[in-house]
Structures are given as structure tokens and as C-alpha cells.
Homo-oligomer: A and B are copies of this chain.
Amino acid sequence: MVSKLKTGPLGLQSIYFKDAPGLLSWASIAGKKEGEGPLGSYFDEIIDDAAFGQDTWEEGESEFMEAACKLALKKAGLTAKDIRYLYGGDLLGQLIATTFGIKNMEIPFFGLYGACSTMGEALSLASMCLAGGFADNVIATASSHFGGAEKNFRFPLEYGNQRPPYSTWTVTGSGAFVLSRTKGDIVIRGITTGKIKDYGIKDSMNMGASMAPAAASTIYQHFQDFSSTPENYDRIFTGDLGKVGQEILLKLLEENNLDISKQHRDCGIEIFNPDTQNTGCGGSGCGCSAITLAGYITKQMLEGSWKRVLFVPTGALLSTVSFNEGQSIPGIAHAVLFETRKHQ
């Protein structure tokens, strides 16, 4: 049994929710490659067609998000009219996957961009809204798409570019969560909101290295703010650092006398099998942490295997313009603390 965490003070970057909002339902819609990976059996639906029946990858990504939101609503026994706000985002310029994915649901909408940290940002803002008493039910969602992301950030797929071994593979999929002010067996006990960290990395293929300092900063501050230690947690999941980023994260924290090597997992490392799937050092994208949380992590918590999990999606803040103009790639990471309700 994990010991109870100290309540408050808020510390420098965190909020502890005394009346913690909960996850009422969730859904994960994953692409073909994700379905063939180690977590494949955990996803609600596997869609073999990358365009999801649409004409383009971008429209396809919208379909993944809409399907995830609708399935989460169905599981909760709710309709879009019951949802006060939708917090969501994706990786594409101007959030077009989200815009066209959610527009027909007609839910008041806050568009978010945190690169691959977006799922953490959405859950953070959604839980603040609920804990503040401003809604009964909200949705938090995020998506990404391999084809759309390669086209947006790197090379056309037809070009067949070589990928360095430290590159990551953008996950195709979307996770959606219906959050409730009072209900749900898994609650959001707190959040630690990230600052932008820039260590001057300029290689857009090496996103693990650009995000690791941000993850280290947020995780370190989380323990400070909650007066907790890694032993108080069953798992600490970063979003998509991959193997290179994980090494840097563990090293940076060790330098600050914090050893999370026992608890640390990375959604990007868990989601693919690099030996058989040719995915470089792991999966990435907003969808990576979103479907790993909606598919895998929540299941372990519901079954009682894990009682307290720190979920820390990580984002690399670049665009092709900033990259081509020679700017560095700063990172950001937003931590969300999940607990099983029984454990309170």
C-alpha cells in the first residue's frame, strides 16, 4: 500500500486537488502498427486504414479523434450535450486535426498546443476546471498521425528518407477521456505544470534529448511540491522520450539525487517493439501518451496493479520554420498525478 501524500501547500508549480476530479470513461483508437505492438491488445479499436476512410492523413487523424471522443462518451452513457468543455489538440499546424475532428460535436472548445505534451496539458486544464467547480463533465483529448506528422515536420513519406537510430516514430491514434467533477474510480489527485526548458538541442530527429531536460525539471519539482519520493509511486510514465531521452532523464535526475529508475517507464518505449517494428528508439506524438494512458495505464490501475501513477507527457516545441531558421528545440512536460479512488 502506497502511503498517502501530504496535502498542500501548492509548492512552486503544483496543485493538489482535495476534491479530486475523476476519469468517468476513456477510449483509445489506434493505428495498424500500434495495434501490432506490445500494447495492441489494450486498445479499444485498431484501424488498419491510415486515412480512416478519408482522402487525406489529416482528415484521417480527425476521424481517429472523433471516434475516440464518441466512444468515450458512449462508455460514459453521455452525449456531447452533457459535456461542458472540450480541451484538445494535436501536432499539426493550427490544430487542424482537432478542429475537424471535434467540430460536429458542438462542444465549447479550448484548443491547446503543447506538442507531444498536449494530453498532459489537456488533463491539467480540464481538472482545474472541474476542481474549480465550473463544470460537471468535460472531455480531454489528443491525437497524432505518422503520415501527417512526417509530412508536417520532416519529409514526404514517398521520399523514403533514412531515419537515424535515435529518431522516434510518430504514433497514429487518439485517446479521449471524459472527466467528472465527482465520479470515477481513477482520480486526478494533482498536477505539476511544466516550464519550457531549452538545452540548445538543434537536431529535429533527436527529440528525446530536447525533451528530457523538461521532463527532469517537472518530475523533480513534482517531488519537491508534493514532498514525496519515487517510492511513493507505482509508476512514473513519461510520454515519448524514447531510449535516448530516458537515459538523459535518469542521468539528470540522478545528478539531483533522485533515482526513478525502478518506477520509470516511457510510453514511447512501451508502445512499439523496436526489434521487429523498425521504430527507432520509440514511439512519439500526442497520440502516443494518450492511447497508452487510455489503453494500458488505466487498465493496470483499474485492476489494482498500480495505485498511484505519475503521467508526464513530454513535448518538443519546434516547427519547420523555427528549425529551418536555426532555432533550438525547447521542451516542455506536464505531470498529472493519478490515484485509484479506493486508495484515498
Chain A interfacial positions (CB closer than 8 Å to B): 10, 13, 15, 55-56, 58-59, 85, 89, 91-96, 99-100, 102-103, 106-115, 121, 124-125, 128-129, 131-134, 151-152, 193-196, 198, 317-322, 325, 327, 330, 332
Contacts and interface: CB of A to CB of B under 8 A. Distances in A.
A330 B113 contact: no
Given A15-B134, A134-B15, A193 B58 contact: no
A108 B322 contact: no
A198 B103 contact: yes
A318 B96 contact: yes
B109 A110 contact: no
A331 to B, nearest CB: 10
A317 B94 contact: yes
A58 B321 CA distance: 8
Given A321-B96, A325-B58, A193 B129 contact: no
B132 A95 contact: no
A110 B13 CA distance: 12
Given A106-B196, A107-B195, 6 more contacts: A100-B322, A109-B332, A111-B121, A111-B332, A128-B134, A129-B132
Contact of A92 (B112, B151, B321, B332): B321
Given A96-B317, A134-B132, A321-B93, A112 B115 contact: no
A102 B330 CA distance: 11
Contacts of A133: 132
A109 B332 CA distance: 8
A319 B58 CA distance: 11
Nearest to A94: B319
Contact of A108 (B108, B129, B193, B318): B193
A277 B330 CA distance: 38
Given A15-B134, A110-B112, A58 B322 contact: yes
A112 B131 CA distance: 21
A328 to B, nearest CB: 9
A221 to B, nearest CB: 9
A332 B107 CA distance: 11
A102 B197 CA distance: 11
Nearest to A13: B108
Contacts of A93: 93-94, 152, 319-321
A326 to B, nearest CB: 9
